[in-house]
Amino acid sequence: MLLLPSAHVAYSWLALTLLQDTLHVAPDADYRGVALAAMGSDLIDKPLAAAYFYRKQKAAVLFAHTLLAYVAAAAWTWARWPRGAVYGVTFLGHAVLDRIWFFPDTFYWPLRGWRFHRWGKQGSEQKAIGKAYWFAFTRRPELWLWEVGGLLALAWVIWRHRLYHPKRLFAFLWTGRPPR
């Protein structure tokens, strides 16, 4: 499933806010770091796809979307940076939101061979990766449900932290933490 980076960030911020409010988890988490972790797989793979893999193999979900990458990131985070566990969990959340296990050639890479999942949604095959995403989102309305959900999640986070006040929004952007 495709999910735009903004939706990954919105769902991750929603989860963090709910966990902070109910379980007092990661009270010092930097929401900017959470945003980067939420988009981490795409920040690594999409430039690689645009530069080479999409053109040659029609693949856009690559190394950073593999079980190997997720396990390595989780192991490193918990072993070397326990206070950063929230960022490791957020990085893993990307796999959950993308439901990446439905792309087994990528998820289990290299156990199923050296190729990644090939873009093949009917009607969205294009020479350029940007056009492929455009065609997918304009021709598959079910994808918009996830994006609308992301907008609602973001709206709730804004409302919950009262980020509609310019001073609070500026403090949030400057510090990475919602003002108390």
Taking only the tens place, the pLDDT of each residue in 59-118 is 888 999 999 999 999 999 989 998 899 999 999 999 999 889 988 999 999 998 888 888
pLDDT in tens, 38-59: 999 999 998 888 888 877 887 8
32 occurs within a structural domain:
yes
pTM confidence score:
0.87
In this prediction, residue 34 carries a pLDDT of 97
Q: Could you tell me the sign of the dihedral formed by the alpha carbons of 16, 21, 23, 25, in that order?
A: positive
User: How many structural domains is the chain composed of?
Assistant: 1
57 occurs within a structural domain:
yes
Residue 122 scores a pLDDT above 60: no
Q: Can you list the alpha helix ranges (DSSP code H) found in the chain?
A: 5-23, 31-48, 54-57, 67-80, 85-98, 104-107, 129-139, 142-160, 166-175
Q: Are 100 and 61 in contact (CB under 8 A)?
A: yes
Residue 64 lies in domain: 5-175
> What is the chain's mean pLDDT, rounded?
88
Identify the band that residue 8 occupies on the pLDDT scale cut at 50, 70 and 90: very high
Q: What number of CA atoms fall less than 13 Å from residue 143's CA on the CB side?
A: 14
180 occurs within a structural domain:
no
Identify the band that residue 124 occupies on the pLDDT scale cut at 50, 70 and 90: very low
CB count in 10 Å sphere of residue 26: 18
In this prediction, residue 123 carries a pLDDT of 47
Q: In 38-168, at which residue ranges do the beta strands (DSSP E only) sit?
A: none
In this prediction, residue 4 carries a pLDDT of 75
Which residues make Cβ contacts (< 8 Å) with residue 42, sequence separation at least 6? 5, 8, 64, 94
